[in-house]
Chain A
């Protein structure tokens, strides 16, 4: 009886499951397959990191390296009595300038600013610009400059016998502090940096209060079951996924064209500077403001939701009105999260290019913006323009400008982290 009842069980196990030895082998195979895939997963991750590395390497590689320069007149020839050009006094420099450029040009410089008032450095610069007239003949990447130095010099000697070759960092203090120029050796990004700062300032002024306000409304006041509020919420989620270039077209049609009277600033002075049309800093700022609004709202909502409910109840229990509870307890509690989200969104705005091209960033301006109604260019636009030029030296400029942009973004994000930490500490101590 006992035997009969055991038999079928034993048979079933023996019939359908593999024997112990086979099973042991199979487990080994399965484990090996597991290890292989584990390596593949890891490789995927590392190739992601390698991509990031390649990107950064590529930019640094283009930002520094040898350049071959051909001068119209060798600065050594301009030396007077054996004193090199860069050590000559101002009077001598002025005389050199006078003898080497046309009278008309000299008069124009005099009209811009009398030579008696100009500094020695200024005159020296003018000589470099107008007399020496250095031109970039060729540039080499950092990797070539380090690992194939002899080849670089040979190549330069062979192709550009008149040139002299020196190691150049395209990212210099001059690069940051000088205005845009069509001469790659003298071009800078100051105008673009100011443009970016102006645009972002408008963006923040517009989107921060409205974004936080909307987040408060949705989290604190809106009845979730009301159709209108659900519509607003769904709508915000969808807006976050709209391509940025669409916002550019919205900005073009609304801010640049429809509201031209306001965005060109002509409502202020009755039509003074109309060259900008509506393609001004304020149009750009508002466009980017609309673009990052959904991000600020969604982040803000999360931060507000994270404030413990007990704090609200404590406030209400003391007879506070809804707004008093929000203003004194919910917002301070949510602020670190709100600020972090805002800074992330602003980083996005600083890096945005496409919508600003559509809104109409200026292709070339060498004058710093002086207000929200100025024409503008921004760092990413500058990078885009330099990248689109076929000459190598503009690629180098673009790389240097990218470094400036990345440093700007990095410091912004670092400040976000610091701000959040300090806020948290204050909250705990206060």
Chain B
């Protein structure tokens, strides 16, 4: 364990220096993180950094703990009482697992889009407005809803039916609504857990285009089982694998281009070329 903690983070300046600079190179820095479900170690020894305003993809075979790792970044795992997390997850220099940190505040800053579209059973308008309202927004709600829906490339399709149920939208539209909902509260980071896996190819492409647009303003970390998708959209890629104890671990983290063309690890290459997984 001690070795893991001493392993240098890939920062030039160190986490604290970065946060005091105001401008952070990395949105999320993970140091020697282990995740346990009860006694079972689900993921071990993860150290990686997701650069600001870039898209970072997490790939790997099923069961390697990709989603678990992603959920650690905004403390969604707190909702499962048996989960225990060791190590550090630094968000703008602060460890979000510090006892003094409020998970609600974390999630407010680090939004999430889930595998299956999960709009609230409310109107389209209310879906976007709700998150901002509970966070104390008091400005022009109509304008904000429009802005969020435009940013999610959904406005033209729904502008005439804002007061209709969100459940009437198609799967792809629902997922973009969920993205609009997430960006309405203006997070710094958006976590996406296989956001297109439940969608058809055309809807998938639209989501990918949207992710690229959003990455100009937001840091995006996306879990995907689709390697082409990772190659198409991401700037950086983390490759996870699973060992014989069913524990996931990080194999390699690098530029996407390098991972897909010249990986430094043999198992990465095997996975990329389709030899397993």
- Decide if A and B are genuine partners: yes
Which of A's residues lie within 8 Å of B, judged by CB? 223-225, 308, 310-321, 324, 328-329, 332-333, 427-430
3 nearest interchain CB pairs? A319-B108, A318-B131, A317-B112
B116→A318 contact, CB < 8 A:
no
Cβ of B118: which chain A residues have Cβ within 8 Å of it? 308, 310-311, 313-314
What does the 1/0 interface line of B118-160 toward A look like (CB < 8 Å)?
A: 1111110010001100110000000000000000000000000
Instruction: Say whether, besides A310-B118, A428-B165, A316 and B79 are in contact (CB < 8 Å).
Output: yes
B107→A318 contact, CB < 8 A:
yes
Instruction: Say whether, besides A310-B116, A317-B76, A317-B112, A428 and B121 are in contact (CB < 8 Å).
Output: yes
Instruction: Say whether, besides A319-B105, A428-B167, A313 and B135 are in contact (CB < 8 Å).
Output: no
Closest to A308 in B: B118
Q: Which of B76, B121, B182 has the most CB of A within 10 A?
A: B121
Cβ of A320: which chain B residues have Cβ within 8 Å of it? 104, 107, 131, 134
Instruction: Determine how close the nearest CB of chain A comes to the CB of B222; give it in whole angstroms.
Output: 15
Q: Point out the residue from B134, B164, B178 that lies within 8 Å of A328, measured CB to CB.
A: B134
B130→A328 contact, CB < 8 A:
yes
Alpha-carbon distance A169/B108, docked complex (angstroms): 68
Alpha-carbon distance A223/B78, docked complex (angstroms): 12
Alpha-carbon distance A315/B127, docked complex (angstroms): 10
B74: interface (CB < 8 Å): yes
Cβ of B164: which chain A residues have Cβ within 8 Å of it? 429
Cβ of A317: which chain B residues have Cβ within 8 Å of it? 74, 76, 107, 111-114, 182
B121→A316 contact, CB < 8 A:
no
B109→A312 contact, CB < 8 A:
no
Closest to B115 in A: A310
Q: Please, could you name 14 A-B residue pairs with CB atoms under 8 Å apart, sorted by A? A: A224-B81, A225-B81, A308-B118, A313-B76, A313-B79, A313-B118, A314-B119, A314-B178, A314-B181, A318-B107, A319-B134, A332-B121, A333-B121, A428-B121
Cβ of B134: which chain A residues have Cβ within 8 Å of it? 318-321, 324, 328
Alpha-carbon distance A332/B134, docked complex (angstroms): 16
Alpha-carbon distance A333/B178, docked complex (angstroms): 18
Alpha-carbon distance A332/B121, docked complex (angstroms): 9
Alpha-carbon distance A329/B181, docked complex (angstroms): 15
How many residues of chain B have a CB within 8 Å of chain A? Answer: 32
Instruction: Determine how close the nearest CB of chain B comes to the CB of A304; give it in whole angstroms.
Output: 15
Cβ of B131: which chain A residues have Cβ within 8 Å of it? 318-320
B182→A430 contact, CB < 8 A:
no
B90: interface (CB < 8 Å): no
Closest to A320 in B: B134
Alpha-carbon distance A310/B121, docked complex (angstroms): 12
Which of B's residues lie within 8 Å of A, judged by CB? 74, 76, 79, 81, 104-105, 107-109, 111-114, 116, 118-123, 126, 130-131, 134-135, 164-165, 167, 178, 181-182, 185
A310→B114 contact, CB < 8 A:
yes
Q: Which of A224, A310, A312 has the most CB of B within 10 A?
A: A310
A316→B120 contact, CB < 8 A:
no
Instruction: Determine how close the nearest CB of chain A comes to the CB of B243; give it in whole angstroms.
Output: 28
Instruction: Determine how close the nearest CB of chain A comes to the CB of B128; give it in whole angstroms.
Output: 10
Alpha-carbon distance A321/B107, docked complex (angstroms): 10
B165→A429 contact, CB < 8 A:
yes
Alpha-carbon distance A224/B74, docked complex (angstroms): 24
B130→A318 contact, CB < 8 A:
yes
A430→B107 contact, CB < 8 A:
no
Instruction: Determine how close the nearest CB of chain A comes to the CB of B134; give it in whole angstroms.
Output: 5
**New A-B pairs, 18, CB < 8 Å, besides A311-B118, A318-B130, A321-B134:** A223-B81, A224-B81, A310-B114, A313-B114, A313-B118, A314-B118, A315-B120, A316-B76, A316-B107, A317-B74, A317-B76, A318-B182, A319-B104, A319-B111, A319-B134, A328-B130, A333-B121, A428-B165
Instruction: Say whether, besides A319-B185, A429-B165, A430-B165, A314 and B120 are in contact (CB < 8 Å).
Output: yes
Instruction: Determine how close the nearest CB of chain A comes to the CB of B229; give it in whole angstroms.
Output: 21
Cβ of A427: which chain B residues have Cβ within 8 Å of it? 121
Instruction: Determine how close the nearest CB of chain B comes to the CB of A416; give it in whole angstroms.
Output: 21
Alpha-carbon distance A145/B121, docked complex (angstroms): 58
Instruction: Say whether, besides A313-B114, A428-B165, A319 and B122 are in contact (CB < 8 Å).
Output: no
Closest to A318 in B: B131
Cβ of A225: which chain B residues have Cβ within 8 Å of it? 81
Cβ of A324: which chain B residues have Cβ within 8 Å of it? 134
Cβ of A312: which chain B residues have Cβ within 8 Å of it? 79
B108→A318 contact, CB < 8 A:
yes
Cβ of B123: which chain A residues have Cβ within 8 Å of it? 430
Instruction: Determine how close the nearest CB of chain A comes to the CB of B15; give it in whole angstroms.
Output: 23
Instruction: Determine how close the nearest CB of chain B comes to the CB of A327; give it in whole angstroms.
Output: 10
Q: Point out the residue from A223, A310, A318, A430 that lies within 8 Å of B185, measured CB to CB.
A: A318
Instruction: Say whether, besides A318-B130, A428-B167, A429-B165, A329 and B79 are in contact (CB < 8 Å).
Output: no
Alpha-carbon distance A224/B182, docked complex (angstroms): 31
Instruction: Determine how close the nearest CB of chain B comes to the CB of A119; give it in whole angstroms.
Output: 55
Alpha-carbon distance A217/B23, docked complex (angstroms): 43
Instruction: Determine how close the nearest CB of chain B comes to the CB of A259; give it in whole angstroms.
Output: 39
B104→A321 contact, CB < 8 A:
yes
Closest to A314 in B: B118
Closest to A327 in B: B134
Instruction: Determine how close the nearest CB of chain B comes to the CB of A379; give it in whole angstroms.
Output: 39
Closest to A226 in B: B81
Closest to A312 in B: B79
Instruction: Determine how close the nearest CB of chain A comes to the CB of B186; give it in whole angstroms.
Output: 11
B120→A329 contact, CB < 8 A:
yes
Closest to B38 in A: A225
Closest to B187 in A: A319
Cβ of B107: which chain A residues have Cβ within 8 Å of it? 316-320
Closest to B102 in A: A321
Instruction: Determine how close the nearest CB of chain A comes to the CB of B153; give it in whole angstroms.
Output: 20
Instruction: Determine how close the nearest CB of chain A comes to the CB of B40; give it in whole angstroms.
Output: 15
A319→B81 contact, CB < 8 A:
no
Instruction: Determine how close the nearest CB of chain B comes to the CB of A410; give it in whole angstroms.
Output: 31
Cβ of B178: which chain A residues have Cβ within 8 Å of it? 314
B114→A430 contact, CB < 8 A:
no
Alpha-carbon distance A272/B39, docked complex (angstroms): 66
Alpha-carbon distance A430/B165, docked complex (angstroms): 5
Q: Which of B108, B114, B134 has the most CB of A within 10 A?
A: B134
Alpha-carbon distance A315/B126, docked complex (angstroms): 13
